[in-house]
C-alpha cells in the first residue's frame, strides 16, 4: 500500500509544482490571512491539485491541508494526509526559489510517508517509515544519510524567523558552530537529511503541515527530530499548531538545549 501511496504523492507533488511554477513566472497577486501570513493563488491552485489526486486515490482517508477548511471528522480516521501545498510562501513572493510542496501520510498520529518537492529545481526528497530516506534529481536516486559531525557544525536558520532564543543559542555554542545559514521552507530538514548541515532549531509556532513530511525524511536518514522539550511530535491533532517549537539534529550530541 505504501509504495503505491508514495507514487501517488510524488505525482501529486510534481503536478502541484507545475501549477506553482506557472504562477511563479507571472505578476501574481498577494493576499493575507487573518494571522497576516501571505497567501497567493499558487497556494490555492497547488492545494486543489493535490487534494483532487489524493481524494480520488484514497476516498476513505482524511486530509488536513493548510489551505482548506478543517474537518474535525479527520480525528476519527486512522489515516490522514497532511499537506502544505506551498511551504515557504514568503520565499515564493520574494523569488528566492526556496519553497517546497510537502505531502505526508500519517497513521495513528505518526508520519509513515513523506514527500518534499522543490518545484524550481525538480529535486525530490521522500521516505517511507522503516525503509529509508531518499533524494531524487534528474532521474538519479541516492539514499539520504546524516553527517557524523559533532564539532564545527553547520546550523541552519529560517530567513524570516530568527528569534532571540535562536540567536542566544548560537552565541552560547559559538565554539562548536562553523556556520549559520538561512534557508527557506522544509529544505532545512532535507539538507540535514542529506548530510549537508547538522542542526536546525525552530523556536515559536509552526503547524503540522510544516513538519510532518520533513520529520520522516530526516528521521529515516538518521536525524533526531523532537519538540524543544524533547518530547515526540504527534499529528492529526485537535490543535494543529506546533506550539513547543522543535529541533532537527544529526545526532544526540548536537542537542544544544537542556
Three cell numbers, residue 218? 530526516
Residue 127 forms beta bridges with which residues?
114, 133
pLDDT digits (tens, 9 = 90+) for 224-243: 999 999 999 999 999 999 99
Three cell numbers, residue 38? 501571505
Sort strands 199-202 and 153-157 into parallel, antiparallel or unpaired.
parallel
Query: What is the predicted pLDDT for the residue at 31?
Result: 84
- For the chain, list the domains and their CATH numbers: 2-143 (3.30.540.10), 153-254 (3.40.190.80)
Query: What is the predicted pLDDT for the residue at 44?
Result: 94
Query: What is the predicted pLDDT for the residue at 160?
Result: 78
CA-nearest of 128, 98, 147 to 3 is 128
How much helix, strand and coil, in percent to the nearest 5, is found in the chain?
35, 30, 35
Q: How far apart are CA 8 and CA 6, in angstroms?
A: 5
Q: With a cut of 50, which residues of the chain have pLDDT below it?
A: none
Query: What is the predicted pLDDT for the residue at 36?
Result: 73
Amino acid at each position: 500500500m505504501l509504495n503505491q501511496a508514495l507514487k501517488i504523492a510524488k505525482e501529486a507533488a510534481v503536478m502541484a509544482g507545475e501549477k506553482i511554477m506557472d504562477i511563479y513566472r507571472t505578476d501574481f497577486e498577494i493576499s493575507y490571512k487573518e494571522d497576516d501570513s501571505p497567501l497567493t493563488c499558487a497556494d490555492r491552485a497547488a492545494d486543489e491539485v493535490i487534494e483532487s489526486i489524493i481524494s480520488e486515490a484514497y476516498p476513505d482517508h482524511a486530509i488536513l491541508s493548510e489551505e482548506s477548511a478543517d474537518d474535525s471528522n479527520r480525528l476519527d480516521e486512522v489515516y490522514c494526509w497532511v499537506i502544505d501545498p506551498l511551504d515557504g510562501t514568503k520565499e515564493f513572493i520574494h523569488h528566492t526559489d526556496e519553497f517546497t510542496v510537502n505531502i505526508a501520510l500519517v497513521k495513528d498520529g505518526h508520519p509513515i510517508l513523506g514527500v518534499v518537492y522543490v518545484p524550481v529545481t525538480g529535486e525530490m526528497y521522500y521516505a517511507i517509515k522503516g525503509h529509508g530516506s531518499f533524494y531524487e534529481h534528474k532521474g538519479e536516486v541516492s539514499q539520504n544519510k546524516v553527517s557524523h559531525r559533532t564539532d564545527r557544525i553547520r546550523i541552519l536558520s529560517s530567513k524570516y524567523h530568527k528569534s532571540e532564543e535562536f540567536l542566544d543559542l548560537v552565541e552560547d555554542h559559538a565554539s562548536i558552530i562553523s556556520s549559520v545559514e538561512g534557508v527557506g521552507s522544509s529544505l532545512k530538514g532535507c539538507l540535514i537529511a542529506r548530510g549537508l548541515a547538522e542542526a536546525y532549531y525552530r523556536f515559536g509556532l509552526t503547524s503540522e503541515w510544516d513538519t510532518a513530511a520533513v520529520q520522516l525524511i530526516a528521521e529515516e536518514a538518521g536525524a533526531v527530530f523532537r519538540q524543544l522539550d524533547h518530547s515526540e511530535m504527534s499529528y492529526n491533532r485537535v490543535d494543529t499548531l506546533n506550539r513547543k517549537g522543535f529541533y532537527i539534529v544529526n545526532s544526540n550530541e548536537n542537542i544544544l538545549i537542556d
